[in-house]
């Protein structure tokens, strides 16, 4: 069984994907980490995020083992990721890895922006997770606060909107719900409620 979870920044898709994978005993790939790692490697090599050749070279040599790097988690890394993610060459270089991951025997859960549309168009279940801009910025704000980091809510809201626009408006694999995706709006849901709702959606699709 392949489950594709897509949606904008801080919609809750990562947390959901992780819990769904644990629930069904499937492997999980957070594909955003691949783009984050490409941006990290470009910068580490002294390159420019807008340099497509440097980004493609980084994408071709990105190592799965380097995806556990905690520095990939922050908002700067997410923003940098969305710059290299607009290049078709980068996306093409990361495609085989993602498809091979999805093809493992027991199945897998992948989350990102284009899983249901490009990476796994034949996924058994596709979910597009959304939440209002304000709810998503508030979640990011609380995450920062919990880590003792001082950031302004308004700045996070602006960042989220900018990144969404970049992901939505790009020509290559834009962030969009697949025509056969089930939609889940988590604006009013806490993590447990969102998880219950997504399990319900998956059951409605594949039967219990
Ligand atoms: O966790 P969050 O939603 O903030 O971001 P992420 O899933 O780690 O993705 C970071 C960036 O990578 C996104 O803003 C996209 O530009 C890019 N990305 C993509 O283009 N395609 C994917 N399948 C996953 C991420």
Whose CA is closest to atom 15 on ligand 1?
Answer: 82
Give the integer Cα–Cα distance in Å for 52 and 180: 32
Which of 97, 31, 83 minimizes the C-alpha distance to 52?
83
- Indicate if the pLDDT at residue 160 is higher than 80: yes
90 lines ligand 1 (CB under 6 A): no
- Indicate if the pLDDT at residue 200 is higher than 90: yes
pLDDT computed for residue 85 by the predictor: 97
Sheet holding 125-130, edge to edge: 27-30, 108-112, 2-6, 125-130, 182-185
CA of residue 109 to ligand 1 center, whole Å:
15
Orientation angle between helical segments 75-84 and 32-44, nearest 10 degrees: 90
Confidence of residue 76 (pLDDT cuts 50, 70, 90): confident
- Indicate if the pLDDT at residue 208 is higher than 60: no
59 lines ligand 1 (CB under 6 A): no
Give the integer Cα–Cα distance in Å for 199 and 110: 15
12 lines ligand 1 (CB under 6 A): no
Q: Higher confidence at residue 68 or residue 117?
A: 117
pLDDT computed for residue 3 by the predictor: 98
């Amino acid at each position: 069984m392949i489950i594709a979870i897509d949606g904008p920044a801080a919609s809750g898709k990562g947390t959901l994907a992780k819990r769904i994978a644990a629930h069904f005993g499937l492997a999980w790939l957070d594909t955003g980490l691949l783009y984050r790692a490409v941006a990290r490697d470009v910068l580490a090599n002294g390159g420019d995020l807008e340099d497509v050749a440097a980004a493609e070279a980084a994408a071709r040599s990105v190592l799965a083992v380097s995806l556990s790097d905690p520095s990939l988690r922050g908002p700067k890394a997410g923003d940098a990721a969305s710059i290299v993610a607009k290049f078709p060459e980068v996306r093409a270089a990361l495609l085989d890895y993602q498809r091979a991951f999805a093809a493992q025997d027991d199945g897998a859960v992948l989350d990102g922006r284009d899983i249901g549309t490009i990476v796994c168009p034949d996924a058994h279940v596709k979910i597009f997770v959304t939440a209002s801009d304000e709810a998503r910025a508030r979640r990011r704000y609380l995450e920062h606060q919990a880590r003792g980091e001082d950031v302004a809510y308004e700045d996070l809201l602006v960042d989220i909107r900018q990144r969404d626009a970049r992901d939505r408006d790009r020509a290559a694999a834009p962030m969009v719900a697949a025509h056969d995706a089930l939609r889940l709006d988590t604006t009013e849901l806490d993590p447990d409620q969102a998880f219950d709702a997504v399990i319900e959606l998956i059951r409605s699709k594949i039967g219990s």
